[in-house]
Structure 1
Amino acid sequence: MISFLFAGLLLLHSSGTPPTSPPSKPRYTFSKLTWSDEFNYTGLPDSTKWKYDVGGSGWGNKEEQYYTKARRENARVEGGNLVVEARKEALMPANPYTSARLLSRGSQAYGRFEIRAKIPAGRGTWPAIWMLPDVNGYGNHSWPDNGEIDIMEHVGYDPNVIHATTHCKAYYFRINNQKSGTTKLPDATTAFHVYAIEWTPETITADIDGELYFAARNERTGWEAWPWDKPFHLLLNVAVGGEWGGQKGIDEAAFPQQMLVDYVRFYAMKKG
């Protein structure tokens, strides 16, 4: 979601077309927990585990929210969940909404990444669970050369349609060839679901509650098509408006809106 992402669909689970099958060999397991936050505390998000992106510049997508830092109204832990809340309030003159964008201090290359969450509704909302690299070492050292993995994106004007996408220099939305999958999840905004990816040197696959609906394969043609070979960290945010989220306007009466996160868990990849 850098966030740059329109939903061009390469794989359409809801139509009955199966996603590209991941390779059968080599096989991997993902049982060793390496990093997590269970949100079994109260207050601001644990500063040893999370940091913030801050500002209201539009974030490359003409978004309308201002992302705050360590402000309880926008990011807090209560009732066993992380709450990321978008609010209609002009904290900053140029931004009619506030929200939060959290970055995990934990990162790794390869593994299984699980996030159990309930996402917000409302036209104009654009929640995302996604990943970016710790270091930009390829190409011009900026997006999309170094890759992005979108584990979950949802736009409020298209309720309960979930997207997973990868972006890189060779495949990204500005040239309309990004690799993407979508599925219909009837209770996405009213119930918790486990959104996950499994990332190996061969594939990146996405599943919801264990059901696979997206797979991108390593073509072995170089970093332009596969920059996913170095540590990435996780981002959690609720954007408002923007080139995708705001395509059909913003329902001001729908706010505040919350993304609730029950847990975040990273698992190591083991071959064999």
Structure 2
Amino acid sequence: MNRELLLVKTVLLMFCLFLVSCGGDGETESAPTKDDIIDSGPDGPVIPTSGHESATSYTGMSELWSDEFDGENLDEDNWNFQIGDNGWGNNELQNYKRENVSLKDGNLIIEAKVEGQGYTSSRINTTGKFTFKYGRVDVRAALPRGQGIWPAIWMLGENIETVGWPKCGEIDIMEMIGGSGRENTVHGTIHWDNAGSHANYGGNTILESGDFSDEFHVFSIVWDSEAITWYLDDKQYHVVDIIPSGLSEFHEDYHFLINMAVGGNWPGNPDNTTNFPQFFIVDYIRVFQED
């Protein structure tokens, strides 16, 4: 065998061995899908298998609207994406993007992560697509954790574009401020305009053990013409009387918002104890009204 032929065979053998070590068939692997990324490794979301479940019906009420997040993509007949990195009135650090939302196993997943020199997350709302006045709202969710992490399930008056904030009113169904052991506490709050000044009134509740990332919990309000009442796992923890004329904001149509902020005036900024990515997981949102 001449030396040239021996050299060619040696090169071909080395190339074949390389293909075997890389997977065997020599084909280029496709880019990972969103599901692949979510499933991979310890940084993917751990979707809890336990937690509180709310009722699917209530005496004297009918379901008005819901999203069970059962599809492959967010239902844009229900939701809008809010995009940008303008601080959102709270000196928040994240850039809100579409790409940080996914659906998996019947859950909405919002991911907060480090990208480049900053943070990204997502914020969605139902303005122009679903609004309502009065009813019961149940949202089943597992929360993220960490200093500077700020998940929220909330509502704004649909007239915000014409009257502005806080004259439109705001109802915060759930907010959690991560860091410093605060992941066991959630807040329910209203904001309104009091003779030209911002006013707010809120309450909170603390878990007996663990924190809100351990399992699913149900965050609820019951809102009627007289009061707004907050519940955690069907246990009341806060109520506000909305009969006074100065609280007229809370007798108008509202839309939903779900988001996870990073940093801001209330939680402060992430620090070296904050792990990324973080995942805000929502199983469902349901609205019931009196018959």
Judge same fold: TM > 0.5, yes or no.
Answer: yes
Q: Measure the CA separation in 1 of the matches of 2:147 and 2:195.
A: 28
Give the C-alpha shift of residue 134 in structure 1. Answer: 1.3
Q: Secondary structure at the match of 1:40?
A: coil
Q: Identify which of structures 1 and 2 has the higher relative contact order when contacts are C-alpha pairs closer than 8 Å and 6+ apart.
A: 1
For the residue of structure 1 that corresponds to 2:214, the secondary structure is: coil
Partners of 1:33 and 1:118 lie apart in 2 by 23
- Residues 262/217 of structure 1: CA separation in 2 closer, same or farther (3 Å cut): same
Instruction: Please point out which of 153, 159, 169 is paired with 1:147.
Output: 169
- Computing the radius of gyration over CA atoms, which structure comes out larger, 1 or 2? 2
Could you tell me how far apart the structure 1 residues matched to 2:260 and 2:195 are?
24
**CA distance in structure 2 between the partners assigned to 1:87 and 1:159 by the alignment:** 18
Tell me, yes or no, if structure 1 residue 103 matches structure 2 residue 129.
no
Alignment partner, residue 159 of structure 1: 183
Cα distance in 1 for partners of 2:202, 2:237 equals 10
Amino acid at match of 1:236: I
Give the structure with the larger strand fraction.
1
- Aligned: 1:89 with 2:115: yes
The equivalent of 2:67 in structure 1 is: 37
| Counterpart amino acid of residue 39 in structure 1 | F
What's the TM-score once normalised by structure 2's chain length? Answer: 0.73
> Corresponding residue for 1:169?
193
1:110-125 to 2 correspondence within 5 Å? 110-125=134-149
Decide whether the 8 Å contact of 1:171 with 1:179 is kept in 2: no
Residues 125 and 255, structure 2, Cα contact 8 Å, conserved in 1: yes
CA distance in 1, matches of 2:88, 2:191: 16
Once the 2 structures are TM-superposed, how far is the Cα of residue 187 of structure 1 from its aligned partner? 3.1
Matched, 1:261 2:285: no
2:81 aligned residue (36, 47, 52): 52
Q: Residues 198 and 190 of structure 1: is their aligned pair in 2 closer, same or farther, counting only changes over 3 Å?
A: same
Aligned equivalents of 1:192, 1:88: Cα separation in 2: 25
Structure 1: which 4+ aligned runs deviate by more than 2 Å? 28-31, 219-222, 249-253
Q: RMSD value over aligned CA atoms?
A: 2.2
Residue 91 of structure 2 is aligned to residue 62 of structure 1: yes
The number of aligned residues is 228
Cα gap change, 1:171/1:30 in structure 2, threshold over 3 Å: closer, same or farther? farther
How many percent of aligned residue pairs carry the same amino acid?
39
- Report deviation, 1:229: 1.3
CA distance in 2 between partners of 1:227 and 1:121 (Å): 32
SS in 2 for 1:250: coil
Q: Deviations over 1:65-120 (max 9, x none)?
A: 00113x1xx10101110001111113xx7xx1000001123220000111100010
Conserved 8 A contact 1:197-1:204: yes
Q: Which runs of 5+ in 1 are unaligned?
A: 1-27
Decide whether aligned partners of structure 1 residues 29 and 149 sit closer, same or farther in structure 2, where only a CA change above 3 A counts.
farther
Answer yes or no: is the 8 Å Cα contact 1:113–1:264 preserved in 2.
yes
Shift of 1:226: 3.1
Q: Determine whether 1:242 maps to 2:264.
A: yes
Residue 150 of structure 2 is aligned with which of 122, 126, 133? 126
CA displacement at 1:141 relative to structure 2? 1.1
* Structure 1 residue 53 displacement after superposition: 1.0
Shift of residue 29, structure 1, vs aligned partner? 6.0
Which residue is 2:20 aligned to?
Answer: none
User: Out of 198, 207, 217, which is 2:222 matched to?
Assistant: 198
The one-letter code of the counterpart of 1:153 is E
Residues 171-229 of structure 1: CA deviation (Å, up to 9, x unaligned): 99x86x5210101123311110110111101001110110001101024223xx23111
Deviation, 1:30, is 5.9
Q: CA deviation at 1:60?
A: 0.6
Instruction: Give the TM-score of the pair, scaled to structure 1.
Output: 0.78
**Which residue in 2 is equivalent to 1:230?**
252
- Equivalence for 1:14: none
Unaligned 5+ segments in structure 2 are: 1-57
